[in-house]
C-alpha cells in the first residue's frame, strides 16, 4: 500500500457502497491491506480479510442475503436474546434490523479510536422501546478485528437482555481444530436441555455436533487450526460466557441456508453474556468488547495472558 500507519488517513479508509438489495455496506481498510466489510442490515460484519487477502470469517455458500433474514456467516449480533430462550425471535431482533452510521458517536477511550479505521453504527430506538445500541467496528493497524457494543437504558424502567457476537470463523478442517482456554470450565449443553457439565479435556476438539455455553470463561481463548497453521485469539471484556457451535453432518443437512458439507470449514466461537442476563436500571449502560486476531500457530495458550493480544 505504501503508507505508514502514522500518515494513513483512517477516515478515507472507510468506503460506503450498496449491495444488490440496496443495503449499505461499509468497507474498512488498514495500511497493510487487511479489510473488514460490514452490512447495515443487522450491523453485521460479513467479511474480514488479512493483509494477504485471505478470508478469516466463514459465510455459507447457501446464505440468504435477503432481509429481514440474517445472513448465515460473518458476525451477527444476537441481542437482546440468544437462541430461543425467551419470547423473541431466534437470537433476538438486532441482527434483523437496519442500522445507521452514527455521525456523532459517544466518546470511547483513545486506544479504541486512535490508529484504527472504524465505523460507528446505531440501532435507533422505537418510541415504545427507548434504549440505545451504539456499536463500533474497527480494524487495527495489526489487522485485528475489534467490536464494541454498548447498551444504554434511556427508558423509565429496568431492562434485561442477553448478548452474543455470533462469530463464524473460517477453518480448514474442523477435525483438525482445537480450542484452548476452556479446560475445567462448567458449560451448559444445548444438546441436553442446557444441562450443566464440566469440561474434562485439556482442549476442546470436534468429532460430532457441539452446541455449548461455557461459563465464567477467561478473557482470552485460542482457536488453533493445525492444517492452516493459524490460531485465532479471541479477547473479550464484559462477555463472561463463550458459545461454541458446530452443527456437524446431520444438522447441516436440515438447514436450508447451509451446505451439507460446510460444517467442516467453520466453527462458531462467540463472546457472550447468556447464563446471567444483564439488567440495566434507567440511565445505566453496559459495554461489551471483542477483539479477534489471527496469528501463526507457533502461538500457544501459555502466551494468552502475556502477549497483550
Q: How confident is the model at residue 127 (pLDDT cuts 50, 70, 90)?
A: very low
Contacts 24+ apart (CB under 8 A), 186-189: 186/214, 186/215, 186/216, 187/212, 187/213, 187/214, 187/215, 188/212, 188/213, 188/215, 188/275
**Kind and range of the H or E run holding 235:** strand 230-237
Q: How confident is the model at residue 5 (pLDDT cuts 50, 70, 90)?
A: very low
Annotated binding site: 72, 90, 95
> Greater confidence, 272 or 99?
272
**Is residue 137's pLDDT more than 80?**
yes
**Is residue 307's pLDDT more than 90?**
no
**Is residue 146's pLDDT more than 70?**
yes
Task: Please name the fold of domain 12-299.
Answer: Beta-galactosidase; Chain A, domain 5 (2.70.98)
**Is residue 76's pLDDT more than 60?**
yes
Annotated binding site for substrate: 72, 90, 95
Average pLDDT on 233-250 reads 95
pLDDT digits (tens, 9 = 90+) for 18-28: 876 778 889 99
Per cent of the chain over pLDDT 90 is 47
The domain segmentation of the chain, as residue ranges, is 12-299
Return the pLDDT at 4.
Answer: 39
Amino acid at each position: 500500500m505504501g503508507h505508514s500507519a502514522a500518515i494513513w488517513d483512517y477516515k478515507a479508509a472507510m468506503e460506503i457502497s450498496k449491495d444488490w438489495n440496496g443495503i449499505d455496506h461499509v468497507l474498512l481498510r488498514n495500511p497493510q491491506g487487511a479489510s473488514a466489510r460490514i452490512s447495515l442490515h443487522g450491523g453485521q460484519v460479513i467479511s474480514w480479510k488479512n493483509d494477504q487477502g485471505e478470508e478469516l470469517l466463514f459465510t455459507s455458500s447457501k446464505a440468504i442475503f435477503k432481509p429481514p433474514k440474517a445472513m448465515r456467516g460473518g458476525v451477527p449480533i444476537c441481542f437482546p436474546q440468544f437462541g430461543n430462550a425467551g419470547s423473541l425471535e431466534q437470537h433476538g431482533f438486532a441482527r434483523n434490523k437496519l442500522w445507521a452510521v452514527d455521525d456523532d458517536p459517544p466518546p470511547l477511550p483513545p486506544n479504541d479510536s486512535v490508529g484504527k479505521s472504524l465505523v460507528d453504527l446505531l440501532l435507533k430506538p422505537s418510541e415504545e422501546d427507548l434504549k440505545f445500541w451504539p456499536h463500533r467496528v474497527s480494524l487495527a493497524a495489526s489487522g485485528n478485528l475489534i467490536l464494541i457494543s454498548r447498551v444504554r437504558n434511556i427508558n423509565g424502567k429496568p431492562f434485561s437482555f442477553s448478548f452474543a457476537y455470533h462469530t463464524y470463523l473460517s477453518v480448514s478442517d474442523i477435525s483438525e481444530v482445537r480450542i484452548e482456554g476452556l479446560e475445567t470450565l462448567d458449560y451448559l449443553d444445548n444438546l441436553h436441555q442446557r444441562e450443566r457439565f464440566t469440561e474434562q479435556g485439556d482442549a476442546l476438539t470436534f468429532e460430532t455436533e457441539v452446541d455449548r455455553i461455557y461459563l465464567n470463561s477467561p478473557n482470552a481463548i485460542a482457536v488453533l487450526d493445525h492444517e492452516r497453521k493459524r490460531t485465532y485469539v479471541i479477547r473479550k471484556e464484559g462477555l463472561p460466557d463463550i458459545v461454541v457451535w458446530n452443527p456437524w453432518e446431520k444438522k447441516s443437512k436440515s438447514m436450508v441456508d447451509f451446505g451439507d458439507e460446510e460444517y467442516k470449514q467453520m466453527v462458531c466461537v462467540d463472546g457472550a453474556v447468556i447464563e446471567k442476563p444483564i439488567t440495566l436500571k434507567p440511565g445505566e449502560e453496559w459495554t461489551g468488547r471483542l477483539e479477534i486476531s489471527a496469528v501463526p500457530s507457533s502461538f500457544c495458550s501459555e502466551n494468552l495472558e502475556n502477549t497483550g493480544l
